[in-house]
Amino acid sequence: MKDNKKNKKNKKMLKFNFKNIFNVNSSEETNKRIIVIAFVLGLALGLTIMAFFIPERIAKLTNGEEVIVTIGEKNITADELYKDMKQDYSIDLLLNKIDDTLLNDLYPTNNDIKKEVNDMADYYISMYETYYGYSEEKFLESNNFKNKDEFLKTLTLEYKRNEYFNDYLKKLVTDSEIDKYYNEIVTGDIEAKYILVDNNKEDNKTLADKIITRLNNNEKYDEIVKHYGERISTKDLGFVSYNNDLSQKINEALKSLKDGEYTKTAVEENGKYYIIFRTSTKEKKALDEMKNDIIKEIIEQKKKDNQNLYYQCLNELRMTHNVKFSDTELEKKYEEYIKLYEN
């Protein structure tokens, strides 16, 4: 049971890494980008181990078992190694083989995929060169890749898994979900600005309350800004969309206001106090114009709501293509693996 929990935790980490591997942006923290490589390294180890099963020269015992290593008069056979391998590496290696076969049919490796994967491989190699001083050869060798082609093959499999995952999620989005999201979440762009009270000698909340009192007494925004000068800061946000990057608190306050209103109670965040102004609102775009963006946002929410969806969709891929096991031990291990990701 303890091993199952450990495996589940590890695999969730791997899913997170590869869900983002082809969506890295410059604003992400470096350590988050670096950890992505962990799953690739695990797969590289698997590929190295698989090489034992494809020796150039194979000796056989009288009973037909293939000899891999001889130690004096004792032999280690392929059957013995295979049994041991099934304990630790079998499912990961086997699923890589299965998924590679299935996904290559669904997503043939075209020039676009090759470019995407090559760019990502070059990115990681250059990152290791920058932060660790690794040459390409050292990067590949230290991570158990025989060559760059092997690294590219591993990245290509994960790219296709993620392509399938995204296509799978799109099919889960219903028209009623889209309509509900459009009607309840989407708004026209809102014109807004705020006064921020922070790092004052006097209490921030006290000063924010004084400003709101002045506003309640019909003092104008520009007059207040001029009066308090450097004791406050301001920001004109312009028109912000419903899915902007503002904090949840600020967004909730902004959406609760009508055009021409301001927050009668300052919004507090980490000791800072915001007085938010809603100036005007543009007309909401038609559903047809926003449908693709809405689908993407619903998909992201589904990912957050069910962390196991990635594994469930890949299991469904195998089931719909009638994947069957001839080895009962491996079949049992796969069933145990699948149970880790049931809702």
Q: With a cut of 60, say whether residue 10 has pLDDT above it.
A: no
What residues form DSSP beta bridges with 69? 76
Q: Which letter does DSSP use for residue 262 in this model?
A: B
Task: Give the whole-angstrom CA distance, residue 137 versus residue 152.
Answer: 14
Dihedral over Cα of 198, 203, 209, 214: its sign: negative
pTM above 0.75, yes or no: no
Q: Is a pLDDT exceeding 60 seen at residue 285?
A: yes
DSSP state of 229: G
16 vs 189: CA distance, rounded Å:
32
Residue 103 has pLDDT above 90, yes or no: yes
Checking if the pLDDT of 34 tops 80, the result is: no
Residue 191 CB partners (closer than 8 Å, separation 6+): 237, 238, 239, 240, 278, 279, 280, 281, 282
Confidence of residue 64 (pLDDT cuts 50, 70, 90): low
- pLDDT of 172 > 90? The answer is yes
Percentage of the chain beyond pLDDT 90 is 60
Confidence of residue 30 (pLDDT cuts 50, 70, 90): very low
Q: What is the mean pLDDT of residues 21-42?
A: 40
Cβ contact 129:135 at 8 Å: yes
pLDDT at 54 over 90: no
Q: What is the DSSP string of 38-86?
A: HHHHHHHHHHHHHGGGS-SS-EE-TTSPEEEEEETTEEEEHHHHHHHHH
> Model confidence over 180-237: pLDDT tens digits?
999 999 999 999 999 999 876 678 999 999 999 999 999 999 999 999 998 999 999 9
Structure letter (DSSP) for residue 266 = P
- Scan for tokens 């922070």, then name that residue: 198
For the chain, list the domains and their CATH numbers. Answer: 2-172+306-339 (no CATH), 187-281 (3.10.50.40)
Residues 89 and 96 sit within 8 Å (Cβ to Cβ) = no
Is pLDDT of 286 > 60? yes
Q: Is the pLDDT of residue 313 over 90?
A: yes
Q: Is the pLDDT of residue 6 over 80?
A: no
Report yes or no: 211 and 197 within 8 Å, Cβ to Cβ: yes
